[in-house]
């Protein structure tokens, strides 16, 4: 446990305290306490900047499940630090903004900040973990926390819908990713990302390489809202605006990008990675930007814009991965390094201008009561500061000088132009698509940026359509967007501030060996780079965009002609309905309400599974030679046992049946005594006693035992099933005995017999196993029991009274 581990876990610890702060210090907005944490974390993390800039990395390991190779390893390198700084830095600004956005009188602040802190901690865990399983745990936590945040206003149906959607899609991807991680473990025998990178050659030659890559990418694409999984992101806009600014511009959706960047050294170099990553990225770019111009809701515009910008970054990472193909240090690879550099740079830029814009939209929503661009207009005079921020953000998003978006847009053009000249992976034929699609998507980007800016702040002011009289936001609410807006300008004029401190270390993480082989690779970003093809493309974007905006968005008629919802939503919705219908149908067949049927299903399944397994592995063997002789009293016990078991089905009186079952239980205890297992015998005796009491109590509630009559055919199937179960269990017992004898297995108990006293200091082996060697099992078993007991309480005490819906 080091300070670094504590830093990752600090948000969770803070989340425990928040409800108490909320309850006992009501007069102070809970956000002020929460604000301290990201600020402190940011200050702590920024200390690593100098050493990381020198190419060093910090690693701290804490054992978690060392026997399975799962360790909580915190690893700080360029890429991790960049993300961690974004998470804590933007996190601090978002918390500050939320203090003014969410009223302390009407909102359930404790829930909000607990979810937000949970999310922050989970994100930090994702970007700083070196172990894939730890990464996965935090990854799913981000899904969970974000869906809680999206559904924060849970009384709205759309919020719940959005939360469910994001949860279903991202958790589905997460599961796929877990499978991919498992395959990676199969190939390389480690969960550590750094060790995986070291074994990249082994993995690349393995048969499971492609399945593992596809599964991992599925996780990354669902999280980063790549086509066709992007449909959850617009619905996630039902969350409060600070959440949108945080989750959907700066952090959560970038987790997928982080994963792709992080695993580039493992997977890159082949054509599949290049084509899948850049292809999906490119398509998402154009699909998202086209969808954005159809929207009338400001937040929906931003949502689709985020989708398209994420596609842009993804595409760049794909193009950049071709550097691996050429080999580090070769002259071609340096050309494609620019793509990776742009990806990292645009990641930062996007976080600044999109965060700023989300906050601007939040202010507009907060002060006017609507986000519909058909109702808004002419707000420029009422909100001068907000307007200025919107100008900065939108122009940066559109890629105009002198803002940082311009720089990364130009570099993006450079990258796609270079990509078109690639002569690998069939790029000779398809390469031209890259700059063309990029240019068209940029035109769309320009148009929606202009819609966002002009439809809201210029044009006719329509007070009759607004709920509130608009005025400028309070100062506190403006602080965060002003900081982000200034960053947009500062990074525009002085982009090289970040070059050596953040950009270069991050690139070294994505393309390791870079620092060793081409140390002279400098990062220099300039605003002015001459009259070249990129600048011409930008001029073309502005010209085409302006014309299209003028012609098409004259009135509102365009929105009536275009369908605003994404057609893919329909597929999702019908799939969801189909899923529910299908599960209802299966449940109807399976859940007949008759205990006999359930037992029949389970037994038949067991017979088939075990029967197949014994057949498949030819485990059918009866070896009577090694069997110990059976003494007389065991014979007697066994006969009584069998007789009392057989008598149960023929008893018609319930009390007698209970007694007969009790006899079986006590006989079992006796068998344990005979075979010298006092612990088991004691447990069995006590459990049996408690069971009898339970039976007696339940007896009162049970209905009269009905004499049930079935058709003879039913009885015969039952007989067949029960005989088959008995036969297969007996066969397995014999088979395993013979197999153990044949293979000369060492019994599992030897280890415990030898070590229980020396390692755990206990002479009772059973107990030592329960509390020490297999303590986790015990805890989880007891946990299951506790859940069962609580289930009993809920079912009995909180019984539904009327015709309530579940």
Partner 1 sequence: MRVNNVMLYTITRVVVFIILSFSIYLFFAGHHNPGGGFIGGLMTAAALLLLYLSFDLKTIKQIIPFNYTWMIAIGLLLSLGTGVASMLLGYPFLTQFFDYFDLPFLGETELATAVLFDVGIYLTVVGITLLSILTIGEDR
Q: Which residue among 697, 702, 743, 748 contacts partner 1 (CB under 8 A)?
A: 697
- What is the smallest separation between the CB atom of 112 and partner 1, expressed in angstroms? 26
Q: Confirm or reject binding of residue 767 to partner 1 (CB under 8 A).
A: yes
Angle at CA of residue 14, ends 13 and 20, nearest 5°:
110
Q: Confirm or reject binding of residue 701 to partner 1 (CB under 8 A).
A: yes
CB-wise, 551 or 792, nearer to partner 1?
Answer: 792
Q: How far apart are CA 749 and CA 653, in angstroms?
A: 44
Q: How far apart are CA 657 and CA 705, in angstroms?
A: 11
CB-wise, 93 or 133, nearer to partner 1?
Answer: 133
Q: Confirm or reject binding of residue 666 to partner 1 (CB under 8 A).
A: no
If one counts every other C-beta atom within 10 angstroms of the C-beta of residue 401, the result is 17
Q: Name residues whose C-beta falls within 8 Å of residue 211's C-beta, 6 or more positions apart in sequence.
A: 180, 183
- What is the smallest separation between the CB atom of 321 and partner 1, expressed in angstroms? 37
- Contact by Cβ (8 Å): 387, 379: yes
CB-wise, 190 or 683, nearer to partner 1?
Answer: 683
Q: Confirm or reject binding of residue 766 to partner 1 (CB under 8 A).
A: yes
Could you tell me how many residues of this chain bind partner 1 (CB under 8 A)? 45
- What is the smallest separation between the CB atom of 771 and partner 1, expressed in angstroms? 4
Burial class (CB in 10 A: 0-12, 13-18, 19+), 268: buried
> Secondary structure of the chain: what % helix, strand, coil (to 5)?
75, 0, 25
- What is the smallest separation between the CB atom of 796 and partner 1, expressed in angstroms? 5
Q: Confirm or reject binding of residue 610 to partner 1 (CB under 8 A).
A: no
- What is the smallest separation between the CB atom of 33 and partner 1, expressed in angstroms? 24
Range list of H helices, 631-677:
632-647, 654-674
Token pair recorded at residue 760: 């755990």
Token pair recorded at residue 274: 């290049």
Q: Confirm or reject binding of residue 678 to partner 1 (CB under 8 A).
A: yes
CB-wise, 25 or 789, nearer to partner 1?
Answer: 789
Q: 61 forms bridges with which residues in the sheet?
A: 73
Range list of H helices, 453-566:
456-457, 475-493, 504-510, 514-517, 533-552, 557-561
Q: Which residue among 370, 683, 736, 755 contacts partner 1 (CB under 8 A)?
A: 683
CB-wise, 441 or 768, nearer to partner 1?
Answer: 768
Q: How far apart are CA 50 and CA 313, in angstroms?
A: 26
- What is the smallest separation between the CB atom of 747 and partner 1, expressed in angstroms? 21
CB-wise, 475 or 753, nearer to partner 1?
Answer: 753
CB-wise, 133 or 483, nearer to partner 1?
Answer: 133
Q: Which stretch binds partner 1 (CB under 8 A): 14-22, 272-280, 446-454, 695-703?
A: 695-703
Site string for partner 1, 769-788 (x = CB under 8 A): -xxx--xx-xx--xx-xx-x
Q: Which stretch binds partner 1 (CB under 8 A): 255-263, 406-414, 428-436, 789-797?
A: 789-797
Helix, strand or coil, per DSSP, at residue 695: helix
CB-wise, 16 or 698, nearer to partner 1?
Answer: 698
- Contact by Cβ (8 Å): 149, 244: no
Q: Which residue among 533, 698, 705, 753 contacts partner 1 (CB under 8 A)?
A: 698
Q: Confirm or reject binding of residue 702 to partner 1 (CB under 8 A).
A: no
Range list of H helices, 102-230:
109-128, 132-150, 157-188, 193-198, 200-204, 209-223
> Which runs of E-coded beta strand occur in 57-96?
58-65, 70-76
CB-wise, 490 or 783, nearer to partner 1?
Answer: 783
Q: Confirm or reject binding of residue 693 to partner 1 (CB under 8 A).
A: yes
CB-wise, 630 or 697, nearer to partner 1?
Answer: 697
CB-wise, 665 or 762, nearer to partner 1?
Answer: 762
Q: Confirm or reject binding of residue 798 to partner 1 (CB under 8 A).
A: no
CB-wise, 314 or 681, nearer to partner 1?
Answer: 681
- What is the smallest separation between the CB atom of 693 and partner 1, expressed in angstroms? 5
Eight-state DSSP code of residue 499: I
CB-wise, 63 or 723, nearer to partner 1?
Answer: 63
- Contact by Cβ (8 Å): 62, 134: no
Q: Confirm or reject binding of residue 797 to partner 1 (CB under 8 A).
A: yes
CB-wise, 602 or 789, nearer to partner 1?
Answer: 789
Site string for partner 1, 94-113 (x = CB under 8 A): --------------------
Residue the block writes with tokens 């132009």? 417
- Contact by Cβ (8 Å): 273, 307: no
Residue the block writes with tokens 């939209």? 361
Residue the block writes with tokens 């240019």? 439
- What is the smallest separation between the CB atom of 770 and partner 1, expressed in angstroms? 6
Q: Confirm or reject binding of residue 1 to partner 1 (CB under 8 A).
A: yes
Q: Which residue among 608, 609, 719, 793 contacts partner 1 (CB under 8 A)?
A: 793
Q: How far apart are CA 304 and CA 541, in angstroms?
A: 19
- What is the smallest separation between the CB atom of 519 and partner 1, expressed in angstroms? 38
Q: Which residue among 105, 460, 763, 803 contacts partner 1 (CB under 8 A)?
A: 763
CB-wise, 611 or 662, nearer to partner 1?
Answer: 662
Segment 579-585 long-range contacts (CB within 8 Å, at least 24 positions apart): none
Token pair recorded at residue 691: 């069971």
Distances (CA, A) of 36 to 30, 32, 43, 388, 697: 11, 7, 11, 29, 55
Residue the block writes with tokens 């360790």? 71
Tell me which residues in 52-81 interact with partner 1 (CB under 8 A). 62-66
Token pair recorded at residue 223: 């999280």
- What is the smallest separation between the CB atom of 538 and partner 1, expressed in angstroms? 54
Q: How far apart are CA 566 and CA 260, in angstroms?
A: 26
CB-wise, 5 or 374, nearer to partner 1?
Answer: 5
- Contact by Cβ (8 Å): 358, 244: yes
Q: Which residue among 535, 604, 648, 760 contacts partner 1 (CB under 8 A)?
A: 760
Render the burial of 47-80: b for 16+ CB within 10 Å, e for the rest: ebbeebbeeebbebbeeeeeeebbbbbbbbbbbb
Q: Confirm or reject binding of residue 670 to partner 1 (CB under 8 A).
A: no
Q: Which residue among 584, 628, 796, 806 contacts partner 1 (CB under 8 A)?
A: 796
Q: Confirm or reject binding of residue 679 to partner 1 (CB under 8 A).
A: yes
Helix, strand or coil, per DSSP, at residue 431: coil
Q: Confirm or reject binding of residue 694 to partner 1 (CB under 8 A).
A: yes
Token pair recorded at residue 543: 């010209």
Q: Which residue among 497, 620, 682, 720 contacts partner 1 (CB under 8 A)?
A: 682
Q: Which residue among 579, 638, 687, 705 contacts partner 1 (CB under 8 A)?
A: 687
CB-wise, 475 or 790, nearer to partner 1?
Answer: 790
Return the sign of the alpha-carbon dihedral for residues 278, 284, 287, 289: negative
CB-wise, 71 or 321, nearer to partner 1?
Answer: 71
Q: Confirm or reject binding of residue 674 to partner 1 (CB under 8 A).
A: no
Q: Confirm or reject binding of residue 3 to partner 1 (CB under 8 A).
A: no
- What is the smallest separation between the CB atom of 791 and partner 1, expressed in angstroms? 9
Q: Which residue among 628, 792, 800, 806 contacts partner 1 (CB under 8 A)?
A: 792
Q: Name residues whose C-beta falls within 8 Å of residue 600's C-beta, 6 or more positions apart in sequence.
A: 717, 718, 721
Render the burial of 694-717: b for 16+ CB within 10 Å, e for the rest: ebeeeeeeeeeeeeeeeeeeeeee
- Contact by Cβ (8 Å): 511, 337: yes
Q: Confirm or reject binding of residue 762 to partner 1 (CB under 8 A).
A: yes
Query: Which residues of this protein are in contact with partner 1, per CB under 8 A?
Result: 1, 62-66, 678-679, 682-683, 686-687, 689-690, 693-694, 697-698, 701, 760-764, 766-768, 770-772, 775-776, 778-779, 782-783, 785-786, 788-790, 792-793, 796-797
């Amino acid at each position: 446990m080091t300070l670094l581990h504590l830093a990752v876990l600090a948000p969770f610890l803070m989340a425990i305290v928040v409800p108490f702060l909320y309850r006992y210090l009501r007069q102070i907005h809970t956000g002020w306490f929460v604000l301290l944490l990201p600020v402190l974390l940011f200050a702590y993390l920024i200390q690593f900047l100098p050493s990381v800039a020198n190419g060093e990395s910090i690693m701290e390991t804490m054992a978690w499940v060392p026997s399975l190779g799962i360790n909580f390893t915190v690893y700080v390198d360029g890429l991790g630090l960049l993300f961690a700084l974004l998470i804590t830095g933007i996190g601090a600004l978002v918390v500050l903004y939320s203090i003014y956005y969410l009223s302390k009188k009407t909102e359930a602040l404790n829930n909000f900040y607990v979810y937000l802190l949970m999310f922050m901690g989970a994100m930090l865990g994702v970007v700083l973990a070196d172990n894939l399983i730890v990464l996965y745990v935090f990854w799913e936590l981000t899904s969970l926390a974000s869906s809680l945040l999206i559904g924060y206003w849970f009384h709205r149906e759309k919020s719940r819908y959005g939360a469910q959607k994001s949860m279903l899609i991202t958790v589905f991807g997460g599961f796929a990713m877990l499978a991919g991680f498992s395959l990676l473990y199969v190939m390389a025998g480690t969960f550590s990302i750094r060790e995986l990178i070291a074994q990249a050659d082994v993995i690349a030659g393995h048969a499971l390489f492609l399945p593992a890559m596809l599964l991992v990418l599925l996780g990354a694409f669902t999280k980063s809202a790549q086509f066709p999984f992007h449909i959850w992101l617009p619905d996630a806009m039902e969350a409060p605006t600070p959440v949108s600014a945080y989750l959907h511009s700066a952090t959560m959706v970038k987790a997928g990008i982080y994963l792709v960047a992080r695993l580039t050294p493992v997977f890159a170099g082949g054509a599949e990675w290049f084509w899948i990553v850049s292809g999906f990225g490119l398509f998402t770019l154009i699909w998202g930007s086209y969808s954005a111009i159809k929207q009338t809701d400001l937040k929906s515009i931003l949502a689709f814009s985020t989708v398209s910008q994420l596609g842009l970054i993804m595409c760049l990472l794909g193009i950049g991965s071709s550097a691996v193909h050429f080999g580090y240090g070769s002259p071609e690879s340096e050309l494609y390094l620019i793509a990776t550099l742009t990806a990292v740079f645009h990641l930062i830029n996007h976080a600044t201008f999109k965060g700023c814009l989300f906050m601007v939209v939040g202010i507009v929503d907060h002060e006017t009561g609507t986000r519909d661009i058909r109702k808004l207009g002419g707000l420029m005079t009422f909100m001068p500061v907000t307007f200025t921020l919107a100008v900065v953000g939108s122009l940066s998003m559109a890629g105009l000088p002198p803002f940082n978006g311009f720089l990364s847009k130009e570099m993006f053009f450079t990258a796609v132009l270079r990509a078109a000249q690639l002569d690998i992976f069939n790029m000779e034929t398809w390469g031209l698509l890259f700059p063309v699609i990029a240019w068209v998507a940029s035109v769309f980007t320009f148009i929606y940026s202009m819609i966002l800016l002009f439809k809201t702040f210029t044009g006719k002011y329509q007070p009759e359509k607004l709920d509130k009289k608009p005025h400028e936001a309070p100062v506190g609410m403006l602080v965060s967007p002003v900081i982000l807006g200034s960053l947009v300008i500062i990074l525009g004029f002085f982009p090289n501030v970040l070059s050596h401190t953040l950009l270069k270390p991050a690139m070294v993480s994505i393309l390791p060996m870079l620092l060793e082989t081409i140390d002279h690779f400098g990062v220099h970003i300039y605003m002015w780079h001459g009259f070249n093809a990129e600048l011409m493309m930008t001029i073309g974007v502005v010209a085409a965009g302006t014309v299209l905006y003028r012609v098409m968005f004259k009135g509102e008629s365009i929105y009536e002609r275009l369908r605003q919802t994404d057609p893919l939503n329909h597929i999702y919705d019908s799939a969801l309905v189909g899923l529910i219908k299908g599960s209802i149908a299966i449940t109807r067949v399976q859940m007949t309400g008759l205990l006999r049927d359930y037992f029949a299903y389970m037994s038949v399944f067991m017979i088939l599974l075990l029967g197949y397994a014994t057949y498949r592995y030819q485990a059918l063997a009866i070896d009577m030679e090694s069997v110990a002789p059976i003494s007389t009293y065991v014979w007697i016990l066994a006969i009584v046992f069998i007789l009392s078991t057989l008598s149960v089905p023929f008893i018609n009186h319930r009390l007698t049946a209970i007694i007969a079952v009790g006899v079986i239980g006590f006989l079992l205890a006796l068998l344990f005594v005979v075979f010298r297992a006092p612990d088991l015998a004691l447990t069995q005796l006590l459990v049996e006693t408690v069971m009898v009491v339970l039976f007696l109590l339940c007896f009162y509630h049970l209905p009269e035992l009905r004499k049930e009559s079935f058709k003879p055919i039913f009885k015969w199937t039952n007989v067949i099933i029960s005989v088959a179960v008995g036969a297969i269990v007996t066969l397995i017992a014999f088979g395993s005995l013979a197999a153990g004898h044949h293979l000369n297995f060492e019994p599992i108990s030897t280890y415990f017999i030898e070590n229980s006293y020396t390692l755990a200091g206990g002479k009772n082996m059973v107990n030592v196993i329960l509390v020490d060697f297999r303590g986790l099992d015990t805890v989880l078993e007891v946990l299951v029991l506790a859940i069962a007991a609580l289930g009993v309480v809920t079912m009995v005490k909180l019984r539904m009274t009327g015709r309530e819906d579940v």
